[in-house]
Amino acid sequence: MSMTLGECEMACKGNCNCTGYANLDIRNGGSGCLLWLDELLDTREYDADQDIYIRMAASELEGTHLHVFSLYAYVLNYNYFLMEGLVDSVSEFNKKKRILILALLTSSAVTLLFVAAYACRKLKKQTHMKRRGKWYGHVQKDKSLQMEQLDDLQCFSIYEITRATGNFSVSNKIGEGGFGPVYKGVLEDGREIAVKRLSETSQQGLDEFKNEVTCITKLQHRNLVKLLGYCIHQNELILIYEYMTNKSSDQFLFHGTRSLMLNWPQRFNIIHGIARGILYLHQDSRLQIIHRDLKAGNILLDGDMHPKISDFGLARMFQGHNTTSKTNKVVGTYGYISPEYAINGRFSIKSDVFSFGVLVLEIICGKKNKEFSQGDHNDNLLGHVSLVAWRLFKEGRSIELMSGSLQDSHVVSEVLRTIHVALLCVQHHAEDRPTMLSVVLMLVSEGTLPEPKQPAFFNEESFCEHETLPSVDKRTITLLYAR
């Protein structure tokens, strides 16, 4: 029995690779099923007004994108109809007139398609702005943002910012994160600043902007970056920070010759400073804060290589003793996210502890957590740095994890102890991980440390069972999980 259009739709929805479907035969109300399981590059000859159903992301269905797609189809069908009818009607005319009519119809079709393409681009931009946070016009209405969170911050004009950054010159761009690009700027008084500008392609928006302002204005610690001010102008959301001479730690740790500039005492100082900064967030600040996006790219270094934690757009604040929460919107960077958070959406201060552990291992070995290989030791060990470190620890070979550039500056006992502490931080179960207070004490003490259990490690295949693998780069991503 032939499939109906409804059955064809269900077949497409049941296949993750299906990108579109249509009736195989449109006669007598339609029958049969034609599925596209890849890009819509293959073609077939259609009669006028035949429908094809395209599978799209839910976010792309906002606004009137489908109307634009219908406009494309209408233009093609309409011109097909005109060309078919008119060409037949002029069959008795001479060949020149026939060619002229075809040329006119073709040019009109091209013109209409350009108009439709322009409309699609405009509508896509409008829909994207809604997805960014629907903050156009809402900023001025949000009195709580302006009157409460921003009272203690300097409000910069867009003129001051564009002048300081050379109109956001590419030559002044010093980095980019999930919120958007970061530029170096120089104010009229000579102060150097870092300017973080919301990108048009960012998945973040007003909520993250407010969250950053709310968190960071309440925090004062030597290992946290200082927010100097902000700028809100039309469609611009801009944050202004103190400028960090050595930028982010990943630009030293993972870049060949630059990594040689960080000896072991400097790396240990960075690790200890990060630990104290997180301890302040978890325990010593007025509000308990879970950062949720600790990674090398969010650790900035000043002129003396002292670390400062940055980027609080994804942070969560808690009051009292309730420091555990659950969410359907998992945010962070793949490789640093704890398993209970990535899989179940449950995060706590122990989620930050896990991220810290991964970061410590990266600082010691000088390689990104997803690019680490142990091929130099002929054991074909490949995978997440925490798994590699744990296996070496079990074999009594932890010192082999250390970057070769540290051979002349390290203290063996201190390196081994730091690796041991990091492995305690990346244990699979959150309750097994230490608090940051314990971490700080263990780093500087000489007492006996507990034996670490197997780290939280999941490969790409197991991760994909829960959600599409996000791109592995420097940017912060958002993962959505159905529950």
**Which residues are catalytic, by number?**
293
Give which of 209, 479, 477, 204 is closest to 328, Cα–Cα: 479
Q: Which helix (H) or strand (E) holds 183?
A: strand 181-186
Residues forming a β-bridge with 477: 332
Which residue in 294, 298, 260 sits closest to 278, CA to CA? 294
Amino acid code (one letter) for 442:
M
Cα–Cα dist 369/457, whole Å: 11
DSSP string, 185-218: EE-TTS-EEEEEE--TT-S--HHHHHHHHHHHHT
Two structure tokens written together for 461 = 């295949």
Count of CB atoms situated within 10 Å of the CB of 142: 15
Would you give the end-to-end CA distance of the chain in angstroms?
36
Write out the H or E segment, with its range, that includes residue 36.
strand 34-36
Nearest CA to 79 out of 45, 59, 104, 50 is that of 104
Buried b (16+ CB within 10 A) or exposed e, 302-335: beebbbbbbbbbbbbbbeeeebeeeeeebbbbbb
Angle formed at CA 358 by CA 354 and CA 364, multiple of 5 degrees: 145
**Residue 361: which residues within 8 A CB-CB, separation 6 or more?**
369, 385, 386, 389, 401, 419, 422, 426
Backbone phi and psi for residue 6, each to the nearest 5 degrees, phi listed first:
-65, -40
φ/ψ (deg, to 5) at 328: -90, -10
Residue 398 CA to chain centroid, in angstroms? 32
Could you tell me which residues are beta bridge partners of residue 36? 20
